[in-house]
């Protein structure tokens, strides 16, 4: 059963592993200025209406009500109705009441964290994946929210449930833009923690990739194997992770319900079919999960760049059909990429 957990370190709401939020961190936040911006600082055009945009179910989220627990209360039932995801994520419309970081328990070994848009407009999604021997965190956010104690709280409760005393933490990244690595400083120097570097060489070395970007390798967390797929195009060190246990493909900023900024078109053209071919080779995908939401529930309609309030957000989860749609669109554009609005995403060459 999926459950929503509410965290507000240094605030008012802590409903899971309170000890994980009792510490303090030193160091100045590494904000998303410069390389951290995932797109141009300009308002995005709104696309035409269509029929295929996915509208999330209505209902009260545990993040906004302060209700945690079994998932059968506020937000829990809505999450089940929304294919195991919350009825809605913290969206910047209740900054006085929402926590800095929302934690959603997708299953007992998989957690999705959402940085509040109130802390920074990018409102990143982070992923925590437990194996028997190691736990992997993908991305650390912009550095404007207190993420490390939240992650530690999730780990502490997981350990207690499993009857374990410790587990190594691997801090990895979908890619190296500042809004995805800005919170690294909170994890550096922590016990039993490795923070992976952000260059192509560092990523390839950690995962054992010898032929970047064509080689797909396996990373075993202990009874839970992740396939690591290099997908440069948005950014040179970008990777996707395929979770064989949950049939979930984590695509970072390469595909999500929003503006798909492409800095290297030829690399992007090769990366999208690489993922498609991987799935078609016998790796089924239930959900494609990215790291932002920039689309509304109105098909083809996005929020303005920099908007820190997201009422009526598109759902986070996409499907393999969405990846196929992107693949077909990228191929159709050939060597002349252009801005193109779809119901669930916008192709945005830079």
Question: pLDDT of 277-329, one tens digit each?
Answer: 999 999 999 999 999 999 999 999 999 999 999 999 999 999 999 999 999 99
pLDDT at 185 over 60: yes
pLDDT value for 48? 31
pLDDT value for 22? 33
**Mean pLDDT (whole number) for 157-179:** 98
Judged by average pLDDT, the poorest of 41-45, 92-96, 135-139, 206-210 is 41-45
pLDDT value for 81? 54
Question: pLDDT of 237-254, one tens digit each?
Answer: 999 999 999 999 999 999
Distance from CA of residue 229 to its chain's centroid? 16
Q: Is the dihedral of CA 300, 304, 308, 312 positive or negative?
A: negative
The single residue listed with the structure tokens 């294919």 is 83
Report residue 60: phi and psi, to 5°: -90, 130
Contacts of 253 (CB under 8 A, 6+ apart): 38, 174, 175, 177, 180, 234, 235, 238, 260, 261, 290, 291, 292
CA distances from 88 to 109, 147, 209, 293 (A): 21, 20, 37, 11
pLDDT value for 155? 98
**Mean pLDDT (whole number) for 217-231:** 98
pTM, two decimals, is 0.81
Q: Domain spans of the chain?
A: 3-18+52-349
pLDDT value for 58? 30
Q: Which CATH architecture has domain 3-18+52-349?
A: 4-Layer Sandwich (3.60)
Say if residues 296 and 303 touch (Cβ distance below 8 Å). yes
**Mean pLDDT rounded to a whole number for the chain:** 83
Q: What is the Cα–Cα distance from 216 to 55, expressed in whole angstroms?
A: 34
């Amino acid at each position: 059963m999926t459950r929503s957990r509410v965290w507000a370190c240094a605030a008012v709401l802590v409903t899971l592993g309170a000890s994980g939020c009792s510490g303090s961190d030193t160091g100045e936040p590494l904000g998303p200025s410069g390389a951290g911006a995932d797109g141009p600082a300009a308002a995005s055009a709104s696309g035409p209406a269509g029929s295929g945009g996915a509208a999330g179910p209505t209902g009260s989220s545990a993040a906004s009500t302060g209700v945690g627990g079994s998932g059968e209360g506020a937000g829990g039932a809505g999450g089940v109705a929304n294919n195991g995801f919350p009825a809605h994520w913290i969206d910047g419309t209740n900054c006085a009441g929402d926590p800095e970081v929302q934690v959603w328990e997708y299953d007992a070994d998989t957690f999705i964290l959402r940085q509040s848009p109130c802390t920074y407009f990018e409102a990143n999604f982070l992923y925590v994946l437990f194996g028997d021997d190691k736990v992997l965190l993908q991305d650390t956010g912009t550095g404007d929210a207190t993420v490390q104690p939240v992650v530690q709280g999730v780990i502490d409760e997981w350990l207690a449930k499993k009857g374990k005393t410790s587990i190594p933490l691997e801090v990895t990244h979908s890619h190296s833009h500042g809004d995805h690595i800005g919170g690294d400083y909170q994890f550096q120097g922590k016990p039993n923690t490795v923070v992976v570097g952000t260059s192509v060489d560092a990523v390839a070395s950690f995962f054992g990739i010898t032929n970047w970007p064509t080689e797909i390798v396996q990373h075993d967390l202990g009874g839970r194997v992740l396939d690591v797929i290099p997908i440069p195009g948005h950014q040179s060190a970008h990777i996707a992770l395929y979770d064989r246990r949950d049939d979930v493909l984590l695509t970072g900023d390469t595909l999500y319900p929003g503006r798909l900024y492409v800095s290297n078109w030829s690399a992007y053209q090769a990366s999208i079919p690489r993922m498609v071919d991987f799935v078609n080779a016998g790796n089924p995908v239930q959900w494609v999960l990215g790291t932002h939401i920039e689309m509304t529930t109105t098909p083809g309609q996005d929020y303005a760049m920099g908007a820190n309030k997201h009422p009526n957000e598109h759902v986070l989860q996409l499907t393999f059909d969405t990846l196929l749609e992107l693949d077909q669109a990228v191929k159709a554009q050939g060597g002349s990429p252009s801005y193109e609005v779809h119901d669930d995403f916008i192709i945005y060459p830079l």
